[in-house]
Structure 1
Amino acid sequence: MTTPYFNPQQEDILKELINVSFGLSASLIGDMLDNHAKLHIPDISNIDIHNLDDKIVEVLEEEYEFYLTKQRFLGSFNGEVLFVFNRYSAHAFCDLLLKQEMSDESDIKSSILELTNIITSACIGKFCEIIHGETIFKVPSIEKREISEMDKYDKIEGYDNVIVIKTALDIEKENILGHMFILLNNEMLDHLKNTIDKI
């Protein structure tokens, strides 16, 4: 059983901060798509970094392949954000963005990168705002992975904790499901918790 990183009050404040950033993200995504977009109130949980691969397999359920984006953020608040999308959600968002079907692999990857860049910037920006910190974002990357090959991919090092955020983006009755993983070391997690306690 996972020991919670956050007490109930901290979790409520964290969820509210993420909701505010998701509201901003949905507005930007809606403008980009020229359509109404809504990011649902997220489910938030936490895991130890060693359980990350197992969690990715769990959230993907019966999927065999998926898209994984990574983006580092550095500064007084630093860590890394991963996003995981199953094949259906990645294709659905790309089709909506490009207003066409049967997009090629490069179109899908660039579309997902645009989507995750917006959400990451808003969410991490909100965290930086409350801790009065500054951060810069590294260039994000994306790759297509297979669950059967999970053991062969490089492990992510340098972090201790993962905040797991399940998000559903509603656009034109499409339910585009993504999972956001915020990777932090113990120092950054403590910094965030201490700041939340002061709010």
Structure 2
Amino acid sequence: MTKSSFNPQQEDILKELINVSFGLSASLIGDMLDNRAKLHIPEISSIDIQYLDDKIVEVLDNDSEFYLTKQRFLGSFNGEVLFVFNNYSAQVFCSLLLKQEISDENDIKSSIMELTNIITSACIGKFCEIIHGETIFKVPTIEKRDISEMDKYDKIEGYDNVIVIKTALDIEKENILGHMFILLNNEMLEQLKSTIDKLEQ
């Protein structure tokens, strides 16, 4: 299912770029929570868009329900970012943000939106910076989904490739696991790869 869109050198530079943007994100998240936060990138891979649903099922392991955020970005660098969180990670982050036990669905959704907004803008902003491009972000959306009903949800169209980034957010010994999916068409992927190649030189 996984294909290698990036060669090892490109993957190293991509990981470094994401590390830098995640460092900035962690600092902002830490300020928001009034606590120390660290974002780890355990792994990066790339897949064909047709395997996106299968990958979501795989990363969720045995969880059936999950939160999915979507945010388009448009401009000289364009695509879409999805985030997937299981129930546990979503509730833990919300509790840390609001400093109380959480049961309200809207609180959980708005907390996750805040978290993903920070990471998306830092990460895509970094990509735009290296290609000397500009992008604007559309209003993000969030919904709760169930794996058993995956075939009922609208399919995402207009993209060819997915960069899959497994993220772990450490706060107060809590391990909040999220999965970031950057959806690009072939043209955008090639533009990103050629820019990364120039950074190597």
TM-score of the pair, normalised by structure 1: 0.99
User: Partners of 2:31 and 2:184 in 1: how far apart?
Assistant: 31
* Counterpart position of 1:163: 163
* Counterpart position of 1:153: 153
Q: What SS does structure 2 have at the residue aligned with 1:41?
A: strand
> Quick one: which amino acid aligns to residue 36 of structure 1?
R
Unmatched segments (≥5 aa) in structure 2: none
Q: What SS does structure 2 have at the residue aligned with 1:40?
A: strand
Q: Which moved more, 1:99-108 or 1:30-39?
A: 99-108
* Counterpart position of 1:179: 179
Identity among equivalent pairs (%): 87
Cα distance 1:87–1:36, how it changes in 2: closer, same or farther (>3 A)? Answer: same
User: Partners of 1:42 and 1:10 in 2: how far apart?
Assistant: 17
* Counterpart position of 1:74: 74
Matched, 1:86 2:86: yes
Q: CA deviation at 1:95?
A: 0.2
Q: CA deviation at 1:102?
A: 2.5
Q: CA deviation at 1:6?
A: 0.3
> Quick one: which amino acid aligns to residue 114 of structure 2?
E
Q: How does 1:1-199 map to 2 (within 5 A)?
A: 2-199=2-199
CA RMSD after TM alignment: 0.7
Q: CA deviation at 1:3?
A: 2.9
**Does the CA-based 8 Å contact 2:2-2:45 persist in structure 1?**
no
**Does the CA-based 8 Å contact 2:94-2:102 persist in structure 1?**
no
| Deviation readout 1:115-153 (Å, 9 max, x if unpaired) | 000000000000000000000000000000000000100
User: Partners of 1:44 and 1:189 in 2: how far apart?
Assistant: 15
Q: How many residues are aligned here? A: 199
User: Partners of 2:111 and 2:182 in 1: how far apart?
Assistant: 21
Q: What SS does structure 1 have at the residue aligned with 2:2?
A: coil
User: Partners of 2:41 and 2:162 in 1: how far apart?
Assistant: 19
User: Partners of 1:67 and 1:113 in 2: how far apart?
Assistant: 10
**Does the CA-based 8 Å contact 1:45-1:165 persist in structure 2?**
yes
Q: CA deviation at 1:79?
A: 0.0
Give the 4+ runs in structure 1 shifted more than 4 A. Answer: none
TM-score of the pair, normalised by structure 2: 0.98
Unmatched segments (≥5 aa) in structure 1: none
User: Partners of 2:147 and 2:88 in 1: how far apart?
Assistant: 15
Q: CA deviation at 1:87?
A: 0.2
Q: CA deviation at 1:33?
A: 0.2
**Does the CA-based 8 Å contact 2:41-2:165 persist in structure 1?**
no
Q: CA deviation at 1:41?
A: 3.0
Q: What SS does structure 1 have at the residue aligned with 2:56?
A: helix
User: Partners of 2:86 and 2:180 in 1: how far apart?
Assistant: 13
Q: What SS does structure 2 have at the residue aligned with 1:9?
A: helix
